[in-house]
């Protein structure tokens, strides 16, 4: 099996978590209670130890495979084409985002006393000067995810120019929801 195929299969497995994760954050638009109830419903699944271990391992694998695929492709071949550049740039941003996002959550949970990594936790970094970093950090994460999937679709024969814009829109909605609820 090629590395690209493993990367694709891992992406399919992670897709379900990502849909639920994003849906959970969008629920904030319906109020803090909606976010809290959905999170309580979902946590037993993604925090179930074997599931969580697989989830974290798969994200680590995606980063390792993605960086290898990007390096193999090289800067010469294909990089001049818009979608190839978008694929690598969005992948690199996802790696940059994940190496901050996942340890931030896990370290907060492991702190004494443990921090509840709920919506308030996610929103805390958006207030004050640090918001200048963290608002684009969140918005770009969803833009990069959608762009990465749009590039995958493009190379399979379906160009979805609108998809990165949907990612940008969803990112703006999540940040608006977080700042609106706790700002
Ligand atoms: C959240 C994590 C990630 C997900 C869900 C994801 C998803 C995907 C998907 C679905 C494809 C299309 C595979 C195919 O159709 O064959 C792909 C391709 C690719 N991804 Fe990722 N990816 C992730 C992280 C990364 C990272 C961190 C990089 C690093 C730069 C990266 C670089 C690439 C490259 C270069 C390709 C093209 C592979 C090829 O066909 O040669 N990805 N990714
Ligand atoms: C704007 C976007 C995002 C926000 C506000 C956000 C917020 C959060 C929060 C609050 C948690 C803790 C969940 C809990 O305690 O139950 C979390 C966990 C996590 N997030 Fe995100 N997230 C965002 C985007 C993403 C993206 C794009 C990815 C992947 C590409 C991702 C991957 C993860 C992972 C792997 C965990 C750890 C799950 C666990 O083991 O408990 N997040 N996120």
Q: d(Cα 95, Cα 101) in Å, to the nearest integer?
A: 10
Pocket mutation for ligand 1, best pick of 15, 66, 159 (most atoms within 8 Å of C-beta): 66
**pTM of the full structure:** 0.95
Q: Which residue's alpha carbon is nearest to atom 5 within ligand 2?
A: 122
Ligand 1 near 85 CB (within 6 A): no
How far is ligand 1, taken at its centre, from the CA of residue 7, in Å?
6
Structure tokens belonging to residue 38: 């959905």
Rounded-to-5 percentages of helix, strand, coil across the chain: 85, 0, 15
Ligand 1 near 61 CB (within 6 A): no
Structure tokens belonging to residue 23: 């849906």
pLDDT digits (tens, 9 = 90+) for 110-124: 999 999 999 999 999
Residue ranges per structural domain of the chain: 3-182
pLDDT digits (tens, 9 = 90+) for 128-162: 999 999 999 999 999 999 999 999 999 999 999 99
Q: d(Cα 174, Cα 135) in Å, to the nearest integer?
A: 10
pLDDT digits (tens, 9 = 90+) for 74-105: 655 555 578 999 999 999 999 999 999 999 99
Phi, psi of 113 (to 5 degrees): -70, 155
First-to-last C-alpha distance (Å) of the chain: 48
């Amino acid at each position: 099996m090629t590395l690209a195929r493993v990367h694709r299969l891992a992406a399919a497995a992670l897709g379900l978590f990502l849909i639920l994760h994003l849906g959970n954050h969008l629920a904030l638009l319906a109020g803090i209670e909606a976010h809290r109830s959905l999170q309580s419903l979902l946590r037993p699944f993604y925090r179930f130890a074997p599931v969580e271990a697989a989830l974290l391992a798969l994200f680590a694998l995606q980063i390792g495979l993605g960086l290898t695929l990007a390096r193999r492709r090289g800067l010469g071949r294909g990089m001049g084409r818009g979608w190839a550049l978008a694929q690598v740039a969005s992948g690199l941003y996802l790696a940059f985002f994940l190496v901050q996002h996942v340890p931030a959550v896990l370290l907060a949970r492991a702190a004494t006393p443990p921090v509840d990594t709920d919506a308030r936790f996610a929103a805390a970094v958006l207030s004050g000067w640090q918001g200048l970093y963290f608002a684009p950090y969140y918005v770009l994460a969803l833009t990069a995810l959608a762009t990465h999937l749009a590039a995958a679709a493009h190379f399979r024969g379906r160009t979805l120019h609108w998809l990165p814009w949907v990612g940008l829109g969803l990112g703006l909605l999540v940040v608006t929801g977080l700042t609106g609820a706790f700002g």
